[in-house]
Structures are given as structure tokens and as C-alpha cells.
Structure 1
Amino acid sequence: MTILVTGGAGFIGSNFVVSWFRHSDEPVVNLDALTYAGNLQNLDSLRDDPRHIFVRGSIADADLVGSLLAEHQARAVVNFAAESHVDRSISSPEPFFDTNVIGTLRLIEASRHHFGTLLPVEQGRFRFVHVSTDEVFGSLGPNDPAFTEETSYKPNSPYSASKAASDHIVRSYFETFGLPTIITNCSNNYGPFHFPEKLVPLIITNALDGHDLPVYGDGQQVRDWLYVEDHCSAIRLALEKAKPGSTYNIGGNNERTNLHVVTQICGILDAVRPRSDGRKYSEQIKFVTDRPGHDRRYAIDSTKIRDDLGWEPEVSFEQGIVKTVDWYLDNQEWVAAVRSGAYLDWIKVQYQ
């Protein structure tokens, strides 16, 4: 058997693929368009692994997706492919709807046609897992209860609106066509291979370079932080055990303000890589104008996945952020290549 993973060279997708082979020998067909945030260097550990089949391409290419599903007789699709940076969606919304809405539609339509070719026993095993975000639920007040699977959708950015639309597409394919779908909505991930435009890697890399550490508004926006390895374990479990048509919220039980995250990173760096001038990294913090429509608080209630599937996060934020800082300190060549765009030059040579 084989699974098709889309977006498997991105941050969460590549962590999932690498961790998959620590738990299974089942082959993975990895489809990724290798846009700015997709990076084959994330998959270097699988370079000579015959179980990993990489294909460069888009989920919007229905013919390609269909041929891959048929050729490899995939028994599951795990969809990570998405445009995911809120700031980019504000400055240029259209690519988010192209990928997250039209791309998801074409991917799931190809999957539906593939599902129709399977024998009944194979159909019973097939799953389409759609990886989404808690941002589709909008913003919480400081004392509001955490998001559950029953929370109404209230997206506040072009990014979250596009993901909300993709969730609705996936749900409709279960209700209308009986395609065995599963939707997961996760909180803020962090960990290795995170593209340095997101908060945690941006703060680490800027701090080491002596640059400003930008914090939106007053820095009191609250997020629930989920270590990426914990997220991957939840998705594996959902793929294995979740009932078709189900949705699960996946959170780290680690609500922290953005300012807390930034100052904690500064404190870790002060201890393990102190500045040459003896000053604190926190002196580099600079408060900047808040972004439009910035959600104030997200929080995830993971009770359902705990009760149904037995999943709970294993890594506390204090443990995970130290591991993350250490990874970036130990992988400065990866950081330099990503930030310089050198890996994109390599892609051109390799594929063109």
C-alpha cells in the first residue's frame, strides 16, 4: 500500500513524511510544487530511501494527481498543500484562493474518481485527510472557551477564509459523495524546518543576525503552540483510527502571548549563544504596527481527539522551544540557503 502526501516538502508536511518512516515502511508519494516555502533540503535524510517517491507538481493539476493515485494505487491522501502565511494573504490574496480552494477542489475530485475505481474492501480502507487550521474559527476574547469541533467558522483573513472554504469542500464530498474524509484543525505549529517568515524562526534568525525582533501591536495576541512532532503523531492516528466524516481539533495545550514567546526565545539564546557585546537579545525587540484584522486569541480544546483516539501532546512549550532553538543553531547552513534563495537556484538546475 502507498499513501499520497501533498505539500510534503513544506514545514509540517516534511516533518510528517520524515516521521512517517520512523513508524512505518509503507511508501509515500510526495507531491509538492516547491514554491518558496517548499524545500527538498527538508527531506535530505530520505534522499536514498526507495520508500520515498518525490514528484514535483501542483495539487491543482488534476491529471497529474489522478495518474499518481492510479499508478501507485494510493490507499490514502494526506493534504498539507496550502498557502499559509497570513501576511502574504493580506498583500496578495489571490494565490491563497488558487491553491487552498481550487487546488483542494481538484485534488479531492481526482481522489473521488480514484475512490470509484477501488474494490469495496479497498474503499473501506481509503481515507482523505485534510490538514487545516484553527484560524478558520476567528478570534476569541480573553475569557472565551477554547475552540471545539462545533465552533462556528468566522475567518478574519484571506488566508483563513481560503482554508475555511477548503474545509467546506472536503466536508461536502463526504456528505454528497460518501468519500471517506477526515478534517483536522491545528493550532500554531513550531519546530524544525519552519520557513523563517513565521514568528518563531524569524525571531531566532533575526536575533542571531543582530536585527530587530518585530512584534505586532502590543504583543499580547495569544496562540496555542503545538510542537510539530506532536501534530504529526495526531495526524498519523487520525489516518489510522478516525471515522470517515469526522473532524478533530489538534492543540498543544500551550497558550502563550506572542511577546512571551519572543522573550522566552531571547532568554534561551542569552544562555546558549550570548551576544558578543554582553547585552540581552530582548533589547532587539521592536514593536511595529499591528497587521489588519489580527486575531487576538486562538485556543484549542483537544478533548475529542483525546477521548476518541487517545492522543495527547507529549512536548511542553518549554521543552519544544528549547529543541527548536537548538535545531536552528545546529542548522545554520539550512537557514542561510533558505534565506538567500540558494535552494531555489538548486531547484532550477535540478528540474530545468
Structure 2
Amino acid sequence: MRILIAPDKFAGTLTAAEAAAAIADGWRRARPEAETVALPLADGGPGFIDVLEAAVPGAERRTALSCGPLGRTVHADYLRVGGTAYIESAAACGLHLLAPAERDPSRTTTYGLGLIIAHAVETGARRVVVGLGGSATNDAGAGMLTALGYTCRDLAGEALPYGGAALASCTSIDGDPRTRGVEFVAASDVDSPLLGPHGATYMFGPQKGAGEADLPVLEAALGNFAEVAERDLGPAGASSWPGAGAAGGLGLALFLLGGRRESGARLTCEAVGLDEAIAAADLVVTGEGSFDGQSLRGKLAAEVADGARAHGKPCLVLAGRSDLGEHPRLAGVHSVADLVGGVEAAMRAPREGLAALAESVAGEWK
């Protein structure tokens, strides 16, 4: 049998490439005669450019001097493929750049992402695809816009300090952005608007360090900024568009620059040739760290499952943990946590646990 192994990252434990290798190792232990083909995938979050670099001919990695969510210097990699630059927002705004005690979306900024974009534009990029995911910010991309040449001002005409809380004082935005007519794409599978119970603050703020008392303050600040930004930059209503709330509101900032949203999972799957790989396989195996009902609503697992279904190929999910025991679109759902006795045990040895799960499933698969 030819087994296509096409997982996403297992957030916080394994990259997509590491997860694919672990599954392949475990599968071969049970079925040494099987041919395993690894095709790591990404949805726009951390690992986005690694996946593309490994799969896209002519991809060239470049480095920009930038800064992290609290202003510390970082050397951020991005990818160039012809005139297109692929950038991970997490390279400058990621949670992984902060210690847990430093996480505070009232202070963190997306300014560093703007520096990476400026570097790409100044070196000739005509299209910029920004993968949104894993951010530590909730500033609606105001920091990014500042790095690109806009100035967000308070009532006295002074430039705002960085961070989500400062947006409450924004009364105007002006400037001349250094984008040179570049086409922007927000690569994200988050369809949240900027505001509301399913928006940037209430859905994602707590994982970025926002306490319960911080949430209404940050929400009001985002609401004020959105009103000013739509008035001064347009288009009207952009804050309510699906994806405006992605990565702490970075989706909105890219819309203000004339950008559009595309599915990060679909974009990656098309770039790496997933459809052709499925057609050549007998069985498809995908996976992610936490698999639940949301995973099959436009996320990467859904792209893989739908592709397998279109070709009449069975699709299995191997996850770190799962709330689903089975699903009609899948041939099976299995989790490391169920195998090793809980989530904590699965997190302690993720690679070994995933390989053991793959070995167990392969031994039973007919």
C-alpha cells in the first residue's frame, strides 16, 4: 500500500514535518512493506513557510531584521517565490517569542510584521501572502500599519504608543504607506470578525494573556480603532468581514491595505500538490494536535478529508487529542491521549506517542 501522510503541526509539541516523520516511522514498524509518502502541511500559522519551502520549486528563504511583540530584535525568515513573498505573522508577533509571564495583548505590537513586509516590498515583491496564526497581539495590525508608513494619532495629534489598549485613544490615521501597489493576501482559516463574542478579543485574547477584566477594555479599544480606520482608510464595514479578527485583528489591517482573505489550508494544499499526491495514494493519513468538530469546518483536516473523499480514498486522523471518536467523512479518528492515558502523558513524549499510535493503527488497518 502507498500511504500518504499529510498532517498539520501538533501545536506546542511537533512541527508538521516532525509529525509526518513520527507517523511514518510507526506505520513502517507495523507494516514494513508499505510505502509511506510524507507531505507536511500548514494552514498559515507557524510552519507555513517551512512547508512551502520544502515543496515549491524555486522557493528562496530570506531574512529581515525585525522586532518581536515587545520590541526585542528578531531575525525573521520569509520566503520568496518569484514576485511573491510568503510571510508568517508569527515570525514577528508569535506567542513563542514571549515567556508566559510576558504575554499581555494590551502592550504587544505587530510593528515587527510591518518591518518584514517593508523588506519584502523594497526588495521587489509584488504580492505578499501573510500567514495568520499563533500571534501574541490584539492591536488590529496598528503596529504593522505604523511600520508601513501610517501614523495612528490621539486627540492631541500625537502618535499612539504600541499595544492593543492604546487603540482606545485613536482619533485619526494618516500617512503614506510604503506598499507600492503590492497585492496583499491574508492566509487564514479563521473566519471571525474583528468584534463580538466570536471576534479577536473574546475568542483569542485569553490565550494571549488577557485576563477577564482586560477583555472588555481591549474590545472597546478595537471597536474605536475600527471606526476610525474605516472612516480614514476604508473600506467601510471591513471590521465585520470574515477573517478581520484573525491574529488579533491583523486580518482587518490587511483588508485596509486592499487585501483579501484566502484559506491558508487550501493555499498550502494547492501549492504542495496535495490533490495529485492523494490520487497516487491508497490511504491518506492526516492529523493535528487537537482534533474536534471545528477541525472539519474549513481547517486543514477538512481540506485533506475532502480531497481524499473526492478521489474515493479512505482518510484517517491521528491526533494528539480528539473529541470525536468517529465521523462519516473519515475512515477513523485516533488519539495519542487515548492510547497513552491522557493529555499530559501525550504531551510528555509527543513523538514517541504519535509513532506508537501510528504503529497500533497500522497493525489493525485492513
Task: Name which structure has the greater RCO, CA cutoff 8 Å, separation 6+.
Answer: 2
TM-score range relative to shorter protein: 0.3 to 0.5
- Structure with bigger gyration radius: 2
- Bigger share in helix: 1
Q: TM-score, normalised by structure 2?
A: 0.32
